[in-house]
């Protein structure tokens, strides 16, 4: 992968922007955009020298407009994002790959439709099923490829989702898990419990 001072390059069908500084409430990070083969634009937020490193802290984070922009309390996505950046700052190294996979891959429109069904009593899995959609349609091949291009050989993955761990191992990435959970609130307690009971997320 190009150094921060080099021009954007294409690798394995991915186009990387130049790197820019990104000051946040959690610290100052580097940020790059990545355009994939179908034109979706993802974001890498990182800190420290990543090349050739082992056991790098990593968060693979899927877009959540309602939580991260509107501060909705129906899920814990914004807490997960903020806590990951805080962890990277404390460690002095880390990378977040922010994937454009709104609503666990079903898109914003369908996500709001599913929310409406949840308001009528369905849980998150049943709502997706009622719409003819998968409970979780996300994929992680782009994230794994980005990490390979970054030169990262093994990761400490901040996640509660065993599917992410398995996806990484299937692509020959060594993975240790860092639990990434938060105290539920009255609006998301049932949602988090459903993920444990029906989607096999770690408690």
Q: Is 138 a catalytic residue?
A: yes
**Run of H or E residues at 87:** helix 77-91
Catalytic option among 74, 136, 153, 163: 136
The residue among 142, 177, 161, 199 whose CA lies nearest residue 55 is 177
Q: Is 169 a catalytic residue?
A: no
Kindly compute the dihedral angle of the four CA atoms of residues 93, 104, 192, 79, in this order, to the nearest 10 degrees.
Answer: 40
The CB density around residue 5, as the number of other CB atoms within 10 Å, is 7
Token pair belonging to 177: 């898990």
Catalytic option among 32, 59, 78, 138: 138
Determine how β-strand 27-35 pairs with β-strand 41-47.
antiparallel
CA-to-CA separations, 5 to 17, 19, 63, in angstroms, rounded: 11, 8, 28
Residues 6 or more apart from 113 whose CB is under 8 A from it? Answer: 131
Q: Which residue has the tokens 């091949």?
A: 141
Q: What is the sign, positive or negative, of the torsion defined by CA atoms of 117, 118, 123, 128?
A: positive
Catalytic annotation, residues? 136, 138
């Amino acid at each position: 992968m190009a150094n921060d001072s080099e021009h954007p390059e294409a690798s394995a069908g991915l186009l990387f922007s130049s790197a820019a500084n990104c000051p946040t409430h959690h610290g100052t990070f580097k940020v790059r955009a990545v355009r994939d083969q179908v034109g979706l634009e993802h974001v890498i937020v990182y800190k420290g020298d990543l090349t050739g490193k082992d056991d790098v802290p990593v968060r693979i984070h899927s877009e959540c407009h309602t939580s991260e922009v509107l501060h909705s309390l129906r899920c814990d996505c914004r807490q997960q994002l903020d806590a990951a950046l805080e962890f990277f700052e404390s460690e002095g190294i880390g990378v977040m790959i922010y994937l454009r996979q709104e609503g666990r891959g079903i898109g914003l429109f369908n996500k709001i439709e599913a929310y409406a069904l949840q308001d009528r009593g369905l849980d998150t899995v049943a709502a997706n099923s009622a719409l003819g959609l998968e409970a979780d349609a996300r994929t992680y091949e782009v994230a794994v490829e980005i990490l390979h291009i970054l030169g990262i050989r093994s990761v400490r993955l901040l996640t509660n989702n065993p599917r992410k761990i398995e996806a990484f191992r299937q692509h020959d990435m060594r993975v240790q898990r860092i639990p990434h959970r938060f105290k539920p609130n009255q609006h998301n307690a049932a949602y988090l419990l459903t993920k444990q009971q029906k989607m096999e997320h770690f408690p």
